[in-house]
A and B are shown apart, each in its own frame.
Chain A
Amino acid sequence: MSEGPLLSVEHLTMRFGGLVAVDDVSFSARDRQITGVIGPNGAGKTTVFNCLTGFYKPSVGRLTLTGRRGSFLLEQMDGYRIAQRAGVARTFQNIRLFPGMSVLENLIVAQHNKLMRASGYTFGGLIGLAGYRRAERAAVEKAREWLERVRLVPMADWDAGNLPYGGQRRLEIARAMCTDPDLLCLDEPAAGLNARESAELNQLLLSIRDEQKIGILLIEHDMSVVMGISDHIVVLDYGRKIADGTPTQIRNDPAVIRAYLGEAEEDENPAAEGAKA
């Protein structure tokens, strides 16, 4: 699938009443690449994500995903179907685990659709078919693999809410990966992590890209993460795309520097804080 892009966003516009949060944005993300989406606060990054994952219906635009499962027009699909059919998984800016369920259960829930089929939509599982038990063992094995990769095996039976913050971030990524996605969307995965955890996260994302051979779309404020691991970066400001290119190109792009550091005469630009972080 290296010929066409995994995800192509064309003329995406999202209006909330009179406010235009995303204005005619087009970009594409490739398979086996990490695509970073950056921009100052309020630039519309999360809105783009919410359109992609079906939480918002875009006002205008076409979102095409061409993955292993086929080609899908995401803007026409229900939120849960995008994850179920098209293979788009996401994490959230403010972590959304199932805090009262165990770490392992979080990963098992992520494999819900596969297990549902195996359990004969509950009827087979109720009468105890062997197929379901096999599928459940396979699901646990898959969960164990991911727990090993995010170093959470000893905490597998803890309540997810009791994990330390960094562990919760890693678990959320593992949970998204347990859905077998073609495109993984990460909304600020490094937020709240210290430098060491952040470096570990980079390694994890690179290994996911190389071993799972999927595309990753990454919103990030932390420049060390974005510049360090992205193959391709899209910069948004006030809902518009202002730049698109490799990290080196972006670093030297005058429009980006202006958006992040402000015009020469503007001293107070709250967005600059994010850039320095």
Chain B
Amino acid sequence: MAVTAVDRPVDYTDLAKRSVAAGVITLILGSLLVGLETVPTPNGGSMQLEPRYRALICAAVGIAVVYCLVELLKVGRAMPALIGGLAMLAAFAVLEWAKIQGLPLGDQLPFNSWVVNWGVMLVPISLVLRALLMMHRAGRPAAVQQAGHKEDGFAAFYLKYNKLFGTLLIAIAVALPFAPFADRRLVDIGTLVLTYVMLGWGLNIVVGLAGLLDLGYVAFYAIGAYTYAMTSINFGLSFWLALPVAGALAASFGIILGFPVLRLRGDYLAIVTLGFGEMIRIIITNWWWFTGGPNGINDIPRPSLFGLVFERNAPKGQETFAHFFGIGYLPIQRVIFLYFVILMFALGTNLFTLRIRKLPISRAWEALREDETACRALGINPRNTKLTAFAIGAMFAGMAGSFFAARQGFISPESFVFLESAVILAIVVLGGLGTQIGVVLAAVLLIGMPEYFRSLQDYRMLAFGIGMVLIMIWRPGGILSHRSPTIFLNRGKAKP
């Protein structure tokens, strides 16, 4: 990234060779993926393959050109990237205009889908931006000198405004349901995202702090959900009474899982926890007379606000929220109430984690993650320390689970498949192990965005995949992967 090296010589023959190679490789790799399309036969009934030469050749040539421009950009030649990027954008604009006008030229757009066409345009846009940025920097040699200093600017920026950022996020979360653009769908998505934030924060204790890779986390979520559903239906326990029961039961299961896996680390631990997650789901599915089996449990009571229910007409002996406050009944009141319940839960989890990070148990978790043998030599009991991590992580999953059951009103084993564990783990890893705000950003990115852009159909999953790949390329440690010590001796002095 040497910006100053404008006069560095470029081996154009070599560059041309490598660009052509990039194009050819794209051509070969894409010949089946992009080059062939399955379409229905004209008489219907079956499918046939149809070649897509235009898209394939556009992609290959595009990759070759972009590769060449990026390489030139890397050795400090910004002008070709700028011109090339602008040319691509201009060509696209002309074709798009032609399409809108209905001219035959409009059919020449490289891809059949407008989403892909517009998505591809992100490439020249980023090229132009990078080129402009480089030209801007080249004018200021002082700033250039810092290029050699490898500083994580994003994490540093975040650390500087840590408190502000957190407060801002909470303020946004509180204000969201009352925003003018907030409809029922948005608040629902917010509730879903917050559920995953809470799960992410809970799993972060196990994976991020204690370093125990748990692939069966959803089992505790399921245990919490079934605990609430079954206690409320069989014993009439209210949501708020069932909550600690669900948490405690999930924590006990955490300890039960923890015992046999105490000696396992890394991959082996992951496999056993994965098995545990599946076991719980299979038991729930097959123990039909107890759990309702694959049919699940229906008509789970909704949570109330200090006995005020969110219904149009109050059941006997109860009062509705709308009646108590003398306002009209709106179905969205319940949605907003649930949103605030999970917001409170999530913030509670966060507060708990922030507090416990200052306590010896959390430092022992981290020490255990770093070196178990050394921990043993210091007199730390690895068994109890690990079991606490499992139990506390499971407790939060159990509470989130009972919220899930209360919100849905219906649960079945299908909600607790392995994919859920994987998604929660992905949130934690992408967010950055051990960080709190990273988990929020990752949950918004992984849960909120695909849910919000549901109308984009399959492309949202494509974008999801591309997003994951980009995060792993640019921020391999997660979106925010900075760990700051929990205690300081020389606060404010220079650090290495």
Contacts and interface: CB of A to CB of B under 8 A. Distances in A.
Contacts of B364: 109, 112, 116
Contacts of B495: 157-158
Given A98-B367, A112-B364, A147 B489 contact: yes
State which size class the interface on B falls in: 35 or more
Nearest to B492: A157
B359 A125 contact: yes
A59 B13 CA distance: 71
A112 B367 CA distance: 10
A44 to B, nearest CB: 20
B371 A98 contact: yes
A244 B483 CA distance: 49
Contacts of B370: 97-101
B381 A84 contact: yes
Contact of B490 (A112, A154, A175): A154
B45 to A, nearest CB: 61
A112 B491 CA distance: 22
Interface in A134-155: 136, 140, 143-144, 147, 153-155
A57 interface: no
Interface residues of A, number: 51
A15 interface: no
Contacts of B381: 80, 84
Contacts of A38: none
Contacts of A128: 355
Interface string B347-371: 0000010011011110110110111
A155 B488 CA distance: 11
Interface in B377-392: 377-382, 388
Contacts of A179: 378-379
Interface string A58-96: 000000000000000000000111111100011010001
Max chain A CB contacts within 10 Å: which of B375, B378, B379, B487?
Answer: B379
Contacts of A153: 489-490
A140 B360 contact: no
B172 interface: no
Contacts of A97: 370-371, 374
Max chain B CB contacts within 10 Å: which of A80, A116, A175, A176?
Answer: A80
B137 interface: no
A256 interface: no
A168 interface: no
Given A96-B371, A126-B356, A157-B495, A89 B378 contact: yes
Nearest to B372: A96
A141 to B, nearest CB: 10
B356 A109 contact: no
Contact of A104 (B360, B371, B374, B488): B488
Contacts of B485: 101-102, 104-105, 157
Contacts of A83: 376-379
A175 B370 CA distance: 15
B489 A116 contact: no
B376 A79 contact: yes
26 contacts: A80-B375, A80-B380, A82-B379, A83-B378, A89-B378, A96-B377, A97-B370, A99-B370, A100-B370, A101-B363, A104-B485, A104-B488, A109-B360, A109-B364, A109-B380, A110-B378, A113-B380, A116-B361, A119-B361, A122-B360, A140-B489, A156-B488, A157-B488, A157-B493, A158-B496, A176-B377
Q: Nearest 3 A-B pairs (CB), nearest first? A: A84-B379, A83-B379, A156-B489
